[in-house]
Structure 1
């Protein structure tokens, strides 16, 4: 790396190192989740509101709005949290509130249907109609399981739209319900978080790591291997290492070691990359050739080892002295590999005695003794478990497709755990990994579910929030 770039990185990071633990947003509220949306017309005037309250598996929805024509009006949750003009794909023209995109469709049904149809058969965002009286005022109150404030069908940070006409509950894509006449962003009550936007339209950030000495966050693209440095205080972003350096075409799990070097798991390339503190490539280590490698995450330990998970080959790898070697044949342990992605996130106890790793396709959390190689199941129930972060006896788990962060309380010897709560934060989009900044957590909203051919919501962001 040129001296000028190194100087820039030092300025970017060291200027904020002392203030990295900023006074962040409120912690997640206790009690049932709730949210609200202020309904605006196309001039921006607020003419109503919607309140949402999570009640078990149901969401209670209460709508009040004025200034509409009498009769029935279609009402839907839309994909994006943007009440801006944009192109309506159905009409291929710019319309009011077109920035909200199409109907929210978590079941990928690609079909418009009624408010009682399951998400596999109709859009999750297909809600009951709103009835407006002769005075132009409409009210509605109902419960639904079509959408939620948490989980795979979570609607936080999306939008709710009221249309000019009735919904026929059958015509694709919008039920012939006419123009978009009111729009509101669905915002969680009593909660705030900070987003760090990323510049690339195809970033798909998967890993995140924090260098406390310089106040820098690092995140890497699963799609092209680009790695960014983000000033945790100012949010300023710079390209730390361009994808393709020494063959790095994908960047998954990231960790910063005690020397300030950045370690990068290369996914299907079967590689581990090491970058110097100034971003220069030190080495790219290739795991032994075999079919279908997938090096997913890694963790340095105090003895100088770096342990690496492989999600498709039943082997735990170890890097020592810049050589990657097979360390534990998982086929000889209670961990049984199956279809899909297996071991994923990995972390270690502060002394390096135990590793904790989660199996994405089974939801099982495992403890591995680095001295004896003994393997013990800690708990079940962490389906779609991706990245892990250990904070004392608390383990945070990013559960990607479930769009929540799980909090697990571990026993003193890390051999059992209890799920304490699951947090959707402000509305997560396929969260993958976690980093800790003082009392805050940071998670990439990777949107890996949109790879390779989906339409991601941009800009991609890292989201920072208080620990819970």
Structure 2
């Protein structure tokens, strides 16, 4: 399966070249003031929503859109829809060094693994060499690999999504470790969709999942 790229950018700049210094889009709901205070303060910022969108760009039949939304400093909601996949599980993560060069494509356990899709958020936003240049799982706290619900896990460990018989995977993920602003912001980084299932830290490491799709966020 060839690697595919999702470019994630603010909605108004969907087709602009991605940049690691890109800032997330902020949408504000403004509320008019009332009474005498209105003259001094006509508008009040009631809430701030940060949004980013990733669109699959590639040459295969696989297509998809991933949207990320964060209210103020709350958790980030990730909505995923990908079509053209093989039925079954597929993982979702964020990474940090060149780990693909160490993979052994011919090991028996790799050949026997069930095909699954895996969305991985990688630490580096570089996709010049496809999956190889994105780096390993995003792990700013230097913890071990795990499942999204685990207390000890990589920040980029977002589990698996499931493609149905028609090859469509839809999922909504709410996670507090992938903010759209701040020192650990995922904007400018990469989500990678792998061919194989993520073991959630319980067996064969997810880094063995070679084929992937890249999402720049």
Aligned partners of 2:77 and 2:175 also within 8 Å? yes
Aligned ranges 1:253-264 → 2 under 5 Å: none
Higher RCO (C-alpha 8 Å, min separation 6):
2
Corresponding residue to 1:78 among 83, 95, 104: 95
Q: Which consecutive unaligned segments of at least 5 residues does structure 2 have?
A: 1-21, 29-47, 106-128
**Superposition deviation, residue 40 in structure 1:** 3.7
**Superposition deviation, residue 57 in structure 1:** 2.1
Q: Report the Cα distance in structure 2 between the residues aligned to 1:178 and 1:27, rounded to whole angstroms.
A: 30
- Does residue 52 of the first structure (1) align with residue 68 of the second (2)? yes
Corresponding residue to 2:214 among 159, 183, 186: 183
Q: Secondary structure at the match of 1:164?
A: strand
Aligned partners of 1:73 and 1:162 also within 8 Å? yes
Q: Report the Cα distance in structure 1 between the residues aligned to 2:82 and 2:159, rounded to whole angstroms.
A: 15
The 1:137/1:153 distance shift into structure 2, 3 A limit, reads: same
Partner of 1:248: none
Aligned partners of 1:103 and 1:174 also within 8 Å? no
Partner of 1:91: 103
The 1:136/1:101 distance shift into structure 2, 3 A limit, reads: same
Q: Report the Cα distance in structure 2 between the residues aligned to 1:102 and 1:134, rounded to whole angstroms.
A: 30
Structure number, greater radius of gyration:
1
- Can you list the C-alpha shifts for 1:418-465, whole angstroms capped at 9, x where unaligned? xxxxxxxxxxxxxxxxxxxxxxxxxxxxxxxxxxxxxxxxxxxxxxxx
- Does residue 115 of the first structure (1) align with residue 132 of the second (2)? no
**Superposition deviation, residue 154 in structure 1:** 1.5
- Can you list the C-alpha shifts for 1:114-142, whole angstroms capped at 9, x where unaligned? 11234xx3210000311100011111112
TM-score of the superposed pair, with normalisation by structure 2: 0.60
Partner of 1:141: 172
Partner of 2:139: 105
Partner of 1:63: 80
The 1:47/1:107 distance shift into structure 2, 3 A limit, reads: same
**Superposition deviation, residue 54 in structure 1:** 0.5
**Superposition deviation, residue 173 in structure 1:** 8.5
Partner of 1:169: 200
Q: Report the Cα distance in structure 1 between the residues aligned to 2:146 and 2:155, rounded to whole angstroms.
A: 9
**Superposition deviation, residue 32 in structure 1:** 0.8
The 1:89/1:146 distance shift into structure 2, 3 A limit, reads: farther
Aligned ranges 1:246-325 → 2 under 5 Å: none
The 1:70/1:100 distance shift into structure 2, 3 A limit, reads: same
- Can you list the C-alpha shifts for 1:239-266, whole angstroms capped at 9, x where unaligned? xxxxxxxxxxxxxxxxxxxxxxxxxxxx
Aligned ranges 1:333-348 → 2 under 5 Å: none
Partner of 1:38: 55
- Can you list the C-alpha shifts for 1:85-144, whole angstroms capped at 9, x where unaligned? x76144179x851111111011122x21111234xx321000031110001111111211
Aligned partners of 2:91 and 2:194 also within 8 Å? yes
Q: Secondary structure at the match of 1:36?
A: strand
Greater share of residues in strand: 1
Q: C-alpha root-mean-square deviation of aligned residues, in Å?
A: 3.1
Q: Report the Cα distance in structure 2 between the residues aligned to 1:106 and 1:114, rounded to whole angstroms.
A: 16
Greater share of residues in helix: 2
- Does residue 131 of the first structure (1) align with residue 162 of the second (2)? yes
Q: Report the Cα distance in structure 2 between the residues aligned to 1:114 and 1:136, rounded to whole angstroms.
A: 23
Aligned partners of 2:76 and 2:179 also within 8 Å? yes
**Superposition deviation, residue 79 in structure 1:** 3.8
Aligned partners of 1:77 and 1:160 also within 8 Å? yes
Q: Report the Cα distance in structure 2 between the residues aligned to 1:176 and 1:27, rounded to whole angstroms.
A: 28
Q: Report the Cα distance in structure 2 between the residues aligned to 1:87 and 1:176, rounded to whole angstroms.
A: 7
**4+ residue segments displaced more than 4 Å:** 25-28, 171-174
